[in-house]
Amino acid sequence: MGLAKRIIPCLDVDNGRVVKGVQFVDIRDAGDPVEVARRYDEQGADEIIFLDITASSDNRDTTVHTVEAIAGEVFIPLTVGGGIRTIEDIRTMLNAGADKVSINTAAVFNPEFVREAAQKFGSQCIVVAIDAKKVSKPGEKDRWEIFTYGGRKPTGIDAVEWAIKMEEYGAGEFMLTSMDQDGVKNGYDLGVTKAISEAVVIPVIASGGAGNLDHLVDGIKKGKADAVLAASIFHFGEHTVPEAKQYMADRGIEMRL
């Protein structure tokens, strides 16, 4: 009897609507975030991640209200990400009812921000989002690099070294997105997931690329992830959370059923 592996549906929210695009283009509408979050809660999701993908300052209030509305109805952990750049941004989201915040670009430009945030609010609520892309050529030793701006800008930072550094700075968990795989539904990048999961002691959420239930199983079994994040396979009714959990449990993964 151990710790259950987690299934985390992800809501990418643009201007108050859940959307899902393939590698950040071809956006499809998937509904009202409060309704979608409630549905996943009822289905037995283990957590919910809310990513504000507009993240422009004029939409901040909409995001705060939506987070408040979700937190008033959904009693499982809620992580909010997108545009978290200052201590004040974190405080605002925690006060709105988020349990954790996810920091991405701000950590890359200013790693000290992660240290400061963890000291102020505790590591348990600081998720560091890592967007990685494979940069090694076929035949070379595997190497992944951190990318920013939705996978467009390379940073020259080695993804595994970055994870080790962020853990030292006080990150409580990683959300690891493979930018090659995001939205294309070919499965997670298991190589980078396993490399990071084995290099650090904090939990890793595999993200980007889940297209079927075997991908979720592989993320845990081969990628050594502690949790799997998925969006499209749940949003458009291909699969439900209980169906996914049962499928994983049947393959020997401990789940909360």
Partner 1 sequence: MQTVAVIDYGMGNLHSAAKALEHVAPEGMKVLITSDSKVIHNADRVVLPGVGAIRDCMAEIRRLGVDEMVKDVVKNKPLLGICVGMQVLLAHSEENSGVECMGLLPGNVRYFGRDLHEDGEHLKVPHMGWSRVAQSDHPLWNDIEDGSRFYFVHSYYAQCEDRSLVAGTCQYGVRLDAALTRDNLFAVQFHPEKSAACGLKLLGNFLRWNP
Q: Which is nearer to partner 1, 36 or 227 (CB)?
A: 227
Rg, Å, the chain Cα set: 17
Catalytic site includes residue 218: no
Q: How far is the CB of 128 from partner 1 (least distance, A)?
A: 14
- In whole angstroms, the minimum distance from the beta carbon of 75 to partner 1 comes to 5
Where residue 175 falls (left for φ over 0; alpha for ψ -120 to 50; beta otherwise) is beta
Whichever of 107 and 125 has its CB closer to partner 1, that residue is 125
Query: Closest approach of Cβ 88 to partner 1, in Å?
Result: 16
Residue number with CB closer to partner 1 (63 or 181): 63
Positions in the binding site for partner 1 (CB under 8 A): 1-6, 41, 44, 46, 71-73, 75-77, 94-97, 99, 119, 121-125, 172-173, 201-203, 226-227, 256
Contact indicator for 219, 191 with CB cutoff of 8 Å: no
Per annotation, catalytic residue among 14, 52, 89, 131: 131
Active-site hit among 12, 41, 46, 52: 12
Q: Shortest approach of partner 1 to residue 48 CB, angstroms? A: 11
Residues 192/144, Cβ–Cβ less than 8 Å = yes
- Angstrom distance (rounded) from CA 42 to CA 20: 21
Q: Is 52 a catalytic residue?
A: no
Give the residue among 78, 8, 77, 46 at the shortest CA–CA distance from 256: 46
Burial class (CB in 10 A: 0-12, 13-18, 19+), 101: buried
Q: 55 vs 126, which CB is nearer to partner 1? A: 126
Task: Write out the H or E segment, with its range, that includes residue 234.
Answer: helix 232-235
Catalytic residue numbers read 12, 131
